[in-house]
Structure formats: C-alpha cells, structure tokens
Amino acid sequence: MCGIIGYCGPRPAAEILVEGLKRLEYRGYDSAGICVRSGGALRVHKRKGKIKDLRAALPDRVDGELGIGHTRWATHGEVNDVNAHPHTDATGRIAIVHNGIIENYAALREKLAEEGYRFVSETDSEVIAHLLASLYDGDLERAVKQAVSLLKGTYGIVAMHADEPDRLVGARNGSPLVLGIGDEEMFLASDVTAIVAHTKQVVYLEDGEVVSITSADYHTTDLRDRPVDKKIEFISWELEEIEKEGYAHFMEKEILEQPESIRRAIQGRLDMEYATGHLGGLNMSRQELLNVERVKIIAAGTSFYAGLVGAYLLESVARIPATAELASELRYRNPVVERNTVYFAVSQSGETADTLYAMRELQRKGARVLGICNVVGSTIPRESDGGVYIHSGPEIAVASTKAFTSQLTAFYLFALMMARMRHMGIESGLSFIHDLEGVPALVSEVLSRRDALVPLARTYAGAGNFLFLGRGINYPVALEGALKLKEISYIHAEGYSAAEIKHGPIALINETTPSLFLVTDDGLRDKVISNMKEVKARAGKVIAIAVDGDDEVDRIADDTFFIPKTHELMYPFLMVVPLQLFAYYSAIELGRNVDQPRNLAKSVTVE
C-alpha cells in the first residue's frame, strides 16, 4: 500500500503522475516512484522519503505519455529505494504498482526463482511483475487475468508493458481502484483525490474485475473475460476542497470546517411536520424499522468511538439495545447474527479493511448491514444493504476530525427517527431537533475560544503520559481525545471512564501525568467532580473541559476550558472539538508532522 495513479493520454505523463501522488500524500507513505514509457522503453524513477525527494531526483525532462506512479507504506521489506514501487521484471519491459498484501508471495517467489527469475527487492509486490513476465504472450490484459488468478490476498494493481505503448491494465481485489474518464485521456487511481483535477467522471471497480484502458477507450471484464457494464459516476466536490486554502495544516482546516460539515450531515434529513429524522438511504420500510430489536455497530479507530456514542444514544433516546465493537475482533469471532438486529458498518473512507471484511462476514450469515461513510462510491456503501453518507467533504489529514462529528450526526438522526416511531412524543421530537440544529452554532462558539487552548498545549506538551476521563455519553469522547493526542503528538495517552480511575489508573497519578476531565452539567457531574478531587489529593495535575459558569470545577482544576451550555445529549459535539484542538496545538508545539503522523495511513486497507 498506499497510493496508485496511472495515466494514458496525450500529455506528458510524469507531471500528471507526480501531481497525483502529491494529492495522495495525505494517505501516509514512506517512498514514492513513477514509471514512464519513453522511446520504447520503461524509465523508472523512485526514492525513499517524500514526493519532494522523488521530484528532486527526476531528470529535467521526462518524456512519455503513458505511466504509473505509487506512494508506498512499507509492509514487506525496509524503507529504501529498491523496495519502492514501481517494480519491474528482470528485462525491464513490464512494470507494476500494487496496493495490498499478497499472502502466497513466498511460494510464488520460490517457484519463479527456480525458473530463473531474479528478485532484487524484499517486497511481495515484485512477485507480480515476474509472474506477469512468465505469462506474457503479447497481451497484457490476458497476462494480468492469468496472474491475479494465482494470487491470494488483497490487491489493487496497475500494470504496463513497453511493447504496448497506449495501454494500462488494472485489477482489484480488496484494495480500491477507480477509473477516471477524461477528454481523450484516461486515469487509474486508488483514490479519486489523485485525479479530480483532471476529470469528475469516474468508474469504481469491484473485486474480481479487470479494466484495460487506452487514451481513447476502456473496457471492464471479470476474470473469466465476461464483459462487465459499469456505471459512470460524477464526483460532486470541487478541487478547492482538497486544498489548504491558507491554513497551516489540513487538520486545522478540517477542525474549523465542522460547523458546516455538521450542517451538511443534517441538511434535508429532518421532517418538521412529524418531528423526526428522514434517512431514505437505509432501504428499510417503516415496518422493518419497527421490527428492529437490537442495533450493533462495527468500526475501527475514531469511527468506533463514534459508534460507542451512537450505541449510548440509541439506548437512552430510542430505548433499543445497542452495542459497538471493533470490526477487527468481530470478523474472527464467528459472530452470532441475531434475529431482528440491524448492523452499522462505520468508516470515513468506506475502504477500512477490517470493517469491510466484518461486514461481509455478517452478510454471509444473513445480517442486514447498513453503512455510515463519507466517501461516495467507496466499497462499504456499494456493498452494504443501505446506509447514510455523512457528506463531510474530503478529509485529508490522517487524524480524523470532522468525519467524527458527522458520524455522530448520522447516529443522532437515526436515534431520533427510531424514537419517534416508538415512544417519543412530538414535542420531545421537536425539542430534540431544536437542540441538534443548534449544534453547529455552538461548535462555532467553541472554535471562537480556541486561542485559550494554545497556552494549555504549551504547558502540557512536555508530559510523557496523559489520562482522558469522562462519564456516560462523554466517555467515548475521552477515548477519542486520547487517540487524537497519541496520533499526532506521540504523547502516550489513555482514555477511561472517570469511574474506572480507582480501578487501576489512579496508580499512574503523579505531578507529571496530567488528567483531562470532561465535566458536563448532567446527572454524573458530581461523581466526576469527586474523581477530580481524588486526582488532586494525589498531587495530580487536572485539566477540565467544563460548561460555562461552572465555578466549582474551575476552582478544583489547575486549568479549565469552558464550552457553551446545551442539552446533555449534545455535549459530545462540543466536548470533542477542544480535544481535537488540544492535540493539534500540542503536536505543533512538539514540531510533529500534523497531517502525516509517523506510521499511520489515512485508509487502512490491509490487516
């Protein structure tokens, strides 16, 4: 893994490839390379490090109108120039780029080595280039189909051959690949971000499909050579949405976009006449929804924490038993699919491997799985039984922020809809809607106070460990706050229920381990204050995120950041924003790479 781009057309390929790779930087990578057909030969240029290192290594002029490019996140073999993509066969006539994991690469490598093929890298991907060379008989498309039929694992592959001057062939199994259709030019990419500057017409490949493109045409087939009719889809967002627009970092931009992204997630989904939510994409009748007896949410990382909030909300508002669990654990647990249970698969990218595979396992067992995703046309919404797009717009920073609050919004709308179909009266429904519609303005108010978090970050960025503590619906927010700090500042942080502090974590309390408490004006406030006092009694530093006017909390805490008052169920929206900002400012204070933290990728498409 991690990023792929390919180009067929009349323009110089190298420039388009490097530009496309630059737009894929947000996915995380440790090396990059391109291959361009020039003068009847394939010219490969690749370097460990960043795109700027690759650009610096390129000749002043790179001719050729056909090429492929790749950003690599190491999985097999160390980070160096040799292990970077593209990979070629021994003759240099075939080149490939590959995302995914080839599980049987060792057996294939041994067999090819016995046949005389010489390997130069430590990667699983190089096997594909030599396998193609062993199968090639003048038809690259046929060779690709034969090769992938021998592969076990996941792959998004684009291949080229020096003897086929106007052709690229792509294949997909478990790793995204999209075709871009331009004016007398064609593109292949792992993400539409790489090609949106050139075209908005795209075709999403499904697993087991192969696409062959020239500058003027394309065709898609399955592995048995049967034609597959594909729908051309339109990218709805603009190029400007993936630019920084004057912000220092994409993460800063995306945190500040949350009032608008939450509004977009709500827009058109409220029915004021009946005081309910409207989510037509669920593809469930009213009777089917009434028959739902349990909701289970599967996700990973930040999406999992949004799911925990969603589960709490569904139980407290809609009175439906609900749980959230990690997709990576569920998929290997031989899960029991229960009658009248609806499942949600939650993923910003819609390509998260663990969540996708867990969804497929549940569907094999007869479950109805709905998706909550941001990326239109991604795999989870295409394969799910229905669901909700959150419409956050492109999220470029590796650490997710605006997608989290938009995922929350989807759960709030679903909980409202389910509650109104059961026990919630119309006045309560209207009140819930009023509170939800007020969230964007309150988030804007929190953002207007963000300068107060800068000195806090400066004070505490030197801490080696951090505790984040919350109760009730804000407990998952504490988990998310700890994750954000870990992701981008590299400070070790753990999230806990504040009630659990005396069950072990209190042993960590000292003057160098700060504890950040989330304190709202709900029924658990006094208990959280008691936990704060326990920390203070042990010489621990206390930071509090509290509600305007809570002087008692302010007197106890060493530092306090205040948020506006709202309904107790709406506080997760307001609580998470200062935690995002605190992590962001701490990372800046420590000189971290905010948008591309080490060892992380935006979309985790392999195990």
For 375-432, what is the HEC assignment?
CCCCHHHHHCCCEEECCCCCCCCCCCCHHHHHHHHHHHHHHHHHHHCCCCCHHHHHHH
Among 2, 8, 35, 373, the one annotated catalytic: 2
φ/ψ of 432, rounded to 5, equals -60, -45
**What ranges make up the beta strands (E) of 206-275?**
209-213, 218-222, 233-234, 270-271
CB within 8 Å of 107: residues ≥ 6 apart:
none
Contact 435, 531 (CB under 8 A): no
Token pair 């509004």 is at which residue? 263
The three-point CA angle 312-343-258 to 5° equals 55
Instruction: Name the residue among 44, 42, 30 with its Cα closest to residue 2.
Output: 30
φ/ψ of 599, rounded to 5, equals 70, 5
Active site residue 111: no
455 preceded by a cis bond (ω within 30 of 0): no
Contact 19, 62 (CB under 8 A): no
Active site residue 373: no
Question: Residue 40 corresponds to which tokens in the numbers above?
Answer: 């009847």
- List C-alpha distances in Å: 331 to 35, 184, 355, 449, 516: 38, 44, 8, 42, 34
Angstrom distance (rounded) from CA 515 to CA 524: 18
Contact 399, 597 (CB under 8 A): yes
Cβ neighbours around 171 below 10 Å, total: 28
φ/ψ of 250, rounded to 5, equals -60, -35
- With 0-12 / 13-18 / 19 or more C-beta atoms within 10 angstroms meaning exposed / middle / buried, residue 53 is middle
Cβ neighbours around 322 below 10 Å, total: 25
For residue 8, what is the enclosing H or E element? Answer: strand 2-8
Residues in the chain: 607
Angstrom distance (rounded) from CA 208 to CA 148: 9
Angstrom distance (rounded) from CA 248 to CA 252: 7
**What ranges make up the beta strands (E) of 418-524?**
465-470, 492-497, 515-519
Which amino acid is it at 441?
A
Local structure of 542: helix, strand or coil = strand
What's the gap between Cα 602 and its chain centre? 5
Contact 552, 529 (CB under 8 A): yes
Contact 102, 151 (CB under 8 A): yes
Contact 191, 22 (CB under 8 A): no
What's the gap between Cα 584 and its chain centre? 18
Token pair 């990419």 is at which residue? 189
Among 48, 253, 486, 602, the one annotated catalytic: 602
Residues involved in catalysis:
2, 602
